[in-house]
Chains A and B, each alone.
Chain A
Amino acid sequence: MSPDNYLYLAAALFAIGTAGVMLRRNALVAFMSVELMLNAANLAMVAFASARGNLDGQVATFFVMVVAAAEVVVGLSIIITIYRTRRSTSVDAANLLKL
């Protein structure tokens, strides 16, 4: 099976993730959309690795997962910190960097 269909699927997931970031006001759901976009890129890289017959794409995907895990930890603690001071996770509520 050629990688075409996997790439189209990755494109669709990436577009859904973009729409989620732009549409949703809840910071957590917007963050999940970013995760979906990362995963779409991962899928494209794994499909390319399979099509090209070498494993560099899979290694890149592995490093993307490491970065995503670190990013989620920091991002969620930022969301919790903002929630503590503003009692809201809406991205509209956070219009100042300071308390």
Chain B
Amino acid sequence: MSGAEITFWIAAPLMVIAAALGLLVFRKAVYSALCIAFVMINLAVLYASLDAMFLTFVQIIVYTGAIMMLFLFVLMLVGVDTPDSMVETLKGQRGSAIAAAIGLLGLIVFGIAGALNGGPKVGLDAANAAYGGNVESLAALIFGRYVFIFELTSALLITAAIGAMVLGQHARTKPKATQADRAAERMRRYAADGVHPGTLPNSGVLARHNSIATPALLPDGSVSDASVSPTLVSRGVIVDAPAMSQITASAFDQVETAQEEDQ
């Protein structure tokens, strides 16, 4: 068994399992993205075993490093917990899709098997050595015979970049509120509902607590609801401020009684 064969029989089953798991089994899109990134790395290994060193590194840098990580960015952007619905919109679509995929596999495999003549493998040693190495020989082709296609890809890349910028823009559905608009809105609410137009009160500063979860106490000793964030209230992490202030009050009482006893 040659080194290329050993590489193949290690990488190929891993790739097929990872691709099938990632695309067909896992419901979470992040798992799918990581499985496909794994498949891309294995493909790079196979390219290396096929004497394509340039493509090995392009595969790792462009596919695993750029494309799959872009997929991950977008997944994080649109919310990783966006559920993948299991509802079959078309009746029997899942079964027929699997049958069609197996049929396609059979078609391609038997088509390949029928067309192969088992000819000897030429190998790339001579082709790679023609200009001194794989990268140099590829460069001779890309900047020689295929130079016009290479120029056309620049137009493609510029179009794609402009397209992404245009699609990335988003038109506001309503105009952005300016500072004057927000001030007018506060005054309108003050006139209509009597909501205080100024800043909200700070959180409470007590002897043992001054975190933002500590509500401020009003002069009559009651809790000011506006002094803590509603998020903290709904989480139930608000400190019991009146009980905290009782500690201070009892400490003052003890000090005062001690002073009276001294006198």
Contacts and interface: CB of A to CB of B under 8 A. Distances in A.
Contacts, number: 230
Interface string A78-89: 111101100011
Contacts of B8: 1, 5-6, 9
A68 to B, nearest CB: 7
Contact of A19 (B15, B98, B127): B98
Query: Which of B66, B141, B160 has the most chain A CB within a 10 Å cutoff?
Result: B160
Interface stretch (B33-41, B205-213, B220-228, B237-245): B33-41
Nearest to B158: A70
B7 to A, nearest CB: 10
A72 to B, nearest CB: 5
Contacts of B112: 4, 7-8, 11
B257 to A, nearest CB: 64
Interface string A4-30: 111111011111111110111110110
Interface in B184-241: none
Contact of B124 (A29, A31, A49): A49
A46 B47 contact: yes
Contacts of B142: 59, 62
Nearest to B125: A53
Interface in B153-209: 153, 156-157, 159-161, 163-164, 167-168, 170
Contacts of A61: 52, 55
Contact of A1 (B100, B121, B124): B121
Contacts of A90: 84-85
Interface in B1-40: 2, 4-5, 8, 12, 15-16, 19-20, 22-24, 29, 32-33, 36, 39-40
B105 interface: yes
Given A19-B101, A73-B164, A29 B63 contact: no
B71 A59 contact: no
Query: Which of B29, B50, B98, B112 has the most chain A CB within a 10 Å cutoff?
Result: B50
Nearest to B100: A22
Interface in A40-67: 42-43, 46-47, 49-56, 58-59, 61-63, 65-67
B50 A66 contact: no
Contact of A43 (B43, B58, B146): B43
Given A11-B112, A46-B52, A28 B71 contact: yes
Given A39-B39, A90-B85, A62 B123 contact: no
Given A11-B105, A14-B108, A36 B118 contact: no
15 contacts: A4-B116, A5-B8, A11-B105, A16-B23, A25-B85, A29-B23, A32-B22, A42-B43, A46-B46, A50-B50, A69-B62, A69-B160, A74-B163, A74-B164, A83-B78
Given A71-B160, A77-B168, 8 more contacts: A13-B15, A13-B39, A29-B23, A32-B36, A51-B121, A52-B122, A54-B127, A92-B89
7 closest pairs, A vs B, by CB? A53-B122, A20-B23, A19-B101, A70-B160, A15-B105, A22-B97, A77-B167
